Structure 1
Amino acid sequence: MLTTITARRLITDTGEIEYPVVSVEDGHIVRIESGDANGSKETLTAAFFDIHVHGARSFDFMASDSSGIAEVGRFLVTRGVAHYLPTTVTAPLELTLKALERLADVIEHPSHGRSGAPIAVPVGIHLEGPFVSHGKRGVHPEVSIREPNIELFDRFQAAARGHIRLMTLAPELPHALELIQHATAAGVRVTMGHSTATSEETLASIAAGATSSTHLFNAMRPIDHREPGIVGTILDRDDIYAEAICDGVHVDPAIIRLWLKIKGEERAILVTDGMSATGVPDGTYTLGDFEVVVKDGVCLSGETLAGSVLTMDQAVANVQKFTGTSLGAAVRLASRNPARMMGMSQLSTMAPGTPANFNVFDEAGDHTGTIFRGRLVE
């Protein structure tokens, strides 16, 4: 059955349409036209794509079964996320392999969630660890960190049945460049992070194929005026994307303003780095095989930040508040840019034949709902 969705405006990946009339059939867009003026004050945008998230609602991707992963997806879609990359964390080898197998099962056999409720779709896996620096490991357990190894990566990819699509790696590690070249040739995007890399080592990684950075500023060698390091080099390169966790905890708002000014609306990417404590009260939760204590919305393992409880709708609101950027620009940081970086532009493009996935914002710019496959998420 053909249905229509109308609004005051539609923000696309390249511009805006006034008084859009979106025709939808079987959950997909049939056509988008500009209609007559109406009384709506709502704005439609593309749905979000979170490329760095570890879990939510007490469920962690390293340990959850298909029903737990479905619950995460059901929660994410209420926060505007239509697609995501479930993200691993450094852990014992067998735990990682089993997690990759479970995630592959869910990607290949997606669930519709509880009672057929709309559910965000995992479109690949982000392998964060074990190829990270001991010096900037954050909460990644030191005992399970490994040097880059093509054979081990291939073992991970075999367990994931080819669904690893993004990998975090520290450029300065032995054999990092060989692994970057190998993974890139296999269609995996490489993002630089958890690293003490110098500028020279970062540039070598980019030349080998790295295209992005993992939560820029966090778990990285800081900028020095004589050694720009990984942060300075990534900021200087116009062709490299850069994630940021815009929760006001991981990165000061002034640095978020600097990040957006330098990387611009084409290369900045919003991520949540959300963990199992997202969407539930403060308490003690797990990330991989270790505990994280959450108090007042801050996630700590000992004295080290361990992910976040940020949701993508809040990240979009925060970046507008911190920088003064427009709703359209903020949304593109959470939809178009991650999709382009991943080579999945179709996930943020609104055109005939694509899923009718939208976010709804009110006149004040607040996120008020998600439309998934043409259906308003309750």
Structure 2
Amino acid sequence: MPEILSAKRLITASQVIDRPTVTIDNDGLIVSIEPNSAPANADTVLTSTFFDIHTHGGAGHDVMEATPAVLDKISRFMGSHGVGHFLPTTVTASVEATLASLEGIARTIERAKTSDWNPTQARPIGIHLEGPFISHAKRGVHPPDKIQPPDIALFDRFQQAAAGYIRLITIAPEVPGGIDLIRHCSAQDVRVSIGHTNALATEARAGIKAGARSATHTYNAMRALDHREPGVLGVVLDDDDLYAELICDGVHVAPELVHLWLKAKGPERAILVTDSMAAAGMPEGDYMLGNFAVKVADGRALSADDLAQGKQTLAGSVLTLDRAVSNLQRFTGAPLEVAAHLASRNPAAMLDLEPGFGDLTIGSPANLNVFNMAGERMRTLLHGRLIN
């Protein structure tokens, strides 16, 4: 039996449709969208599912484990929070560990293209390589002994292990060799994000000129803004063409600066991410991010080693992307239409994915989030199947 959904609004990548009726066939595909046909008292809003381009894991597991069972669990967890597609994101580790993880993730990406994939799981479609080509000065919790100088040959080894699925890479442009690596990656259609960087404004601009397209978790692990030396942060906020991620959990960035980021980047260049780690969706306690220990308490994921030394260093987040969308509306007053685009349309645009990727059109998979009128996600359908 076909399934029929009615709503007050349908938010697609290109338009907002009032009072739609959406018909979904038995294969989970959208067969019709009829505007102005839903009951007048319809009280839900439909959007595309989300696309998280920066996540290290969740549900008690880290993507660096890279086994089929672990990646399936993470994929199910992502789907249960409104995500339809994601980029498993690595963390700085030894070269050997990174190669092994990339190989495992690549096999799962291949499997996600087949009929064997569980349609109620979010689909990994590429890899975000965060580290090891970052700044020691702004490494965050990335282990200092595993950071590598930017190296084209090493990147090529990583990409070969990943079967070409590295779609996004974080690079500190000021580190010697960084600009050459940015050019090399850009020439291969790998999008470059400047992050974990202590770059001056001139160094950040050089990275953008070389091909950098985005910025990794704006404000975090970046040189602070100064009115005489704006540094990388000043450039990120000022450059109209540069996309910029943000972790909208109220922990990594104060709500006032979330508002400033959205004003600066606008609804076309701002991207919501989670930077989630294994503890997302789990009770507070002790977890791992890559190969180092993290303690989670009061909604904050902190480096266990730094805590032992009396320091508090954030180690990813326990955020989910549906909560980020809700927080953005609450912190800034932005409508759901804007918040949803920041978590779906914009990351796909930054990566230059095929036209219509993740959009809701006739013939596309019915990957839908259902929101109440307060802008809170109530449930999700992946390929027409209700998963929560």
TM over 0.5: yes
CA distance in 2, matches of 1:256, 1:116: 36
Residue deviations 1:355-374, cap 9 Å, x none? Answer: 21111001222210001111
Label 1:78 to 1:113 Cα distance change in 2 as closer, same or farther (>3 A): farther
TM-score scaled to structure 1, two decimals? 0.97
- Report if the CA contact (8 A) 1:70-1:112 is conserved: no
Secondary structure, counterpart of 1:309 in structure 2: coil
**1:356 corresponds to 2:369:** no
What amino acid is aligned across from residue 34 of structure 2 in structure 1? Answer: E
Report how many aligned residue pairs link the two structures: 378
Counterpart of 2:6 in structure 1 is 6
Label 1:69 to 1:113 Cα distance change in 2 as closer, same or farther (>3 A): farther
CA shift, 1:377, in A, is 1.2
Map 1:189-208 to 2 at 5 A.
Answer: 189-208=191-210
Decide which of 329, 339, 352 is 1:343's aligned counterpart: 352
- Report if the CA contact (8 A) 1:112-1:119 is conserved: no
Counterpart of 1:272 in structure 2 is 274
Q: Which runs of 4+ in 1 moved over 4 A?
A: 111-117
**Stretch moving more, 25-34 or 124-133:** 25-34
Gaps of 5+ in 1: none
Decide which of 30, 40, 43 is 1:41's aligned counterpart: 43
CA distance in 1, matches of 2:129, 2:20: 39
What amino acid is aligned across from residue 383 of structure 2 in structure 1? Answer: R
CA distance in 2, matches of 1:107, 1:138: 28
Residue deviations 1:276-307, cap 9 Å, x none? Answer: 00001001101111110101110000221000
Counterpart of 1:60 in structure 2 is 62
CA distance in 1, matches of 2:326, 2:245: 16
What amino acid is aligned across from residue 363 of structure 1 in structure 2? Answer: M
Counterpart of 1:311 in structure 2 is 320
Counterpart of 1:365 in structure 2 is 375
CA distance in 1, matches of 2:114, 2:180: 40
CA distance in 1, matches of 2:316, 2:187: 30
CA shift, 1:6, in A, is 2.0
Map 1:17-36 to 2 at 5 A.
Answer: 17-25=17-25, 26-36=27-37
Counterpart of 1:246 in structure 2 is 248
- Report if the CA contact (8 A) 1:112-1:118 is conserved: no
Map 1:293-312 to 2 at 5 A.
Answer: 293-301=295-303, 302=306, 303-312=312-321
Secondary structure, counterpart of 1:87 in structure 2: strand
What amino acid is aligned across from residue 370 of structure 2 in structure 1? Answer: V
CA distance in 1, matches of 2:117, 2:364: 24
Label 1:113 to 1:87 Cα distance change in 2 as closer, same or farther (>3 A): farther
- Report if the CA contact (8 A) 1:339-1:346 is conserved: no
Label 1:185 to 1:292 Cα distance change in 2 as closer, same or farther (>3 A): same
CA distance in 2, matches of 1:172, 1:352: 46
Residue deviations 1:174-216, cap 9 Å, x none? Answer: 1111111111111100000000001111111111110000001
Counterpart of 1:285 in structure 2 is 287
CA distance in 2, matches of 1:114, 1:59: 22
Counterpart of 1:76 in structure 2 is 78
Label 1:246 to 1:371 Cα distance change in 2 as closer, same or farther (>3 A): same
**1:334 corresponds to 2:343:** yes
What amino acid is aligned across from residue 9 of structure 1 in structure 2? Answer: R
What amino acid is aligned across from residue 325 of structure 1 in structure 2? Answer: A
Counterpart of 2:334 in structure 1 is 325
CA shift, 1:2, in A, is 4.1
What amino acid is aligned across from residue 312 of structure 1 in structure 2? Answer: L
Identity of aligned residues (%): 52
Gaps of 5+ in 2: 307-311
What amino acid is aligned across from residue 33 of structure 1 in structure 2? Answer: E
